[in-house]
Structure 1
Amino acid sequence: MILSAGTLVAVVDGEKLALFHNTGHQSVELTPQPTPDIAERASGAAGRGSSEANPDNDTQAEDGFAVGVAEVLNRMVLNHKVEHLLVIAAPKTLGQLRKGWHKETTARLVGEISKDLTGHTPAQIAAAIDKA
């Protein structure tokens, strides 16, 4: 996958968020960004059930975290801080994120990679982007 310089890359799982800016022009070079605070939630968004019929506390916490991440990314997009967005997330988390995207956030998405890469180095994440 080719990313334009300045693309925000969000790497997410059910409990962690890491943000990077692509500073490369010829290849992907990820520069870590500060991680915003994510509002703690006991469960997913109001009016939306969890992805399981009888979610346990861990599942509810992971779903709630994904909702919080979607809100933060939506706010960044709506405040014109993000022009292009690539999301790399664990498959279940990616599904929860999609439920929370604002239409403008969806319009700014340049791609999604359904893979858990939290805890990986920027070089490992860049390599996964190159292969996508």
Structure 2
Amino acid sequence: MQLPHAAVIALVDGKRFELFRNSGNEAGPVLAPMMSPDLDEHGKGGGAGRDSSSANPTGHQIDEDAHAAAAVGWLNKQVTARKIERLVIVAAPRTLGEMRLHYHKQLQAALVAELSKDLVGKSGPEILVALRGK
């Protein structure tokens, strides 16, 4: 996969949110860590369109869904404000599914790739290996 210069790579799991920027070029990407924002996770009423019941997740899963929604909310704002032009989202499988429910159309247009894998806490070179294998 070609990773455009200045593309932002967002790593998300149920609790953490990490950001990297490609400071290299497409032929030689170099992932530089970025500051992770403080997320507003106030909407803890479950995932998009879900009510809490015995058939639906509660407790920690609601917190993880709220975290995923908050991460996408922040990314949506950055993309619509044109602070992020190219985006790669790498998230744990269930988290990625929840995130997709909240994508803005402009975020979808900025999306270079998605990878359904938990890489939070990995180094830039490890992330690049996973992205190349996509």
Say whether the fold is shared (TM-score over 0.5): yes
Shift of 1:34: 0.6
Cα distance in structure 2, aligned partners of 1:50 and 1:66: 17
User: What is the DSSP-based 3-state SS (H/G/I as helix, E as strand, rest coil) of the residue aligned with 1:100?
Assistant: coil
Where structure 2 has 5 or more consecutive residues not aligned to the other structure, the ranges are none
Where structure 1 has 5 or more consecutive residues not aligned to the other structure, the ranges are none
Asked whether the 8 Å contact 1:7–1:86 carries over to 2, the reply is yes
TM normalised by structure 2 equals: 0.91
Identity %: 37
Q: Which residue of 1 aligns with 2:123?
A: 121
TM normalised by structure 1 equals: 0.92
The 1:3/1:62 distance shift into structure 2, 3 A limit, reads: same
The correspondence for 2:94, drawn from 92, 95, 98, is: 92
Q: How many residue pairs get matched?
A: 131
Cα distance in structure 1, aligned partners of 2:106 and 2:63: 26
Shift of 1:56: 2.3
Q: Which residue of 2 aligns with 1:22?
A: 22
Deviation digits for residues 57-76 of structure 1, max 9, x if unmatched? 01000000001001000000
Q: Which residue identity does 2:7 align to in structure 1?
A: T
Cα distance in structure 2, aligned partners of 1:119 and 1:99: 24
Shift of 1:123: 1.3
